[in-house]
Amino acid sequence: MPPRRSFLSSTVGSKLLVAVTGLSLVGFLVMHLIGNLLVFLGPDTFNHYSHKLISNPLVYPAEAGLVVLFLLHAWKTIQLTLSSYHARPAGYEVKKRAGHTSRKSLASSTMIWSGLFLLLFVPIHVKTFKFGTYYAATEPGMRDLYRLVLDIFRNPAWVAFYVVGMIVVGLHLWHGASSTLQTLGADTPRATPVIRRAGLALALILAVGFISIPLWIFIAGGRS
C-alpha cells in the first residue's frame, strides 16, 4: 500500500481527515448562516442574494465539493467509531466524569448519534429548499425563495423539525470544534479552557442564528 494511502487509512490519518473536513463544513455553516439571515431584510434583498448565488456557474463544483466533504467526514467518523467499538467491545460497567478536567459532556457522548441524525436531516433540508416548489419572483428569471421559506416555516411541523435539527447541529459543533483543534495540535493545557468556551460560543451562535429564522417567520409572519 502506498505510504500516503496507508497514512490516510490509519487512525491518525482518519482523525486528521475528520478534523479538516469538519473545519471546512463549519466554515460553510458560518457563510450559510450569514446568507440566510438576509431573510430578515425582506424578499427583495433575500431573493437578489439567492439569485446571484444560484446563478453563479461555480455553485455546481462548490456543491459537489460540499457533498464530498460531508460524506468523507461521515464515513471516516463512522470508521473511527466502529474501530473504537471493536477495540473495546465490552465497554465500561460504570461511566463516571473525571472532574473539571474531563472533556466528557452530552455533546461528546452523543457525537455519533447527532452525526447520524444529520445524515438524515441534511438531505431532507436540501430537498425541501433547493428542490422545493418553484415560485417566480417579480423580476423575470428570478426564483422567489423568500416565499418558499415563508411557506415552509408557517408549518409548525417543519418549524419543530428544523429547530430540533439546529439543536443537534449545535450539540455536534460544541464538542466537534474543540476536538478538531485538539487533533490539529492547537489544544494545549493553557489553551484548552479558551478553546472549549470558543467551541460552545460558536455552537450557540450558529444554532441560535439558524433557529431564529423559522421562529421569527412562524411567530411574526416574516416581512412582505
| Interval 155-184: pLDDT, tens | 999 999 999 999 999 999 887 777 776 776
Residue-by-residue DSSP string for the chain: --HHHHHHHSHHHHHHHHHHHHHHHHHHHHHHHHHHGGGGG-HHHHHHHHHHHHTSTTHHHHHHHHHHHHHHHHHHHHHHHHHHHHHSTT--SS----GGG----HHHHTHHHHHHHHHHHHHHHHHHHHSS---B-SSTT-B-HHHHHHHHHTSHHHHHHHHHHHHHHHHHHHHHHHHHHHHTT---TTTHHHHHHHHHHHHHHHHHHHHHHHHHHHHH----
pLDDT at 98: 46
pLDDT at 39: 96
Please state which of the four CATH numbers 3.40.50.300, 1.10.287.70, 3.40.50.2300, 1.20.1300.10 is assigned to the domain occupying 12-84+104-220.
1.20.1300.10
Query: Where in the chain are the domains?
Result: 12-84+104-220
Residue 213 has pLDDT above 80, yes or no: yes
| Interval 131-160: pLDDT, tens | 999 999 888 889 999 999 999 999 999 999
pLDDT at 191: 67
Residue 51 has pLDDT above 70, yes or no: yes
Percentage of the chain lying above the pLDDT 70 cut: 81
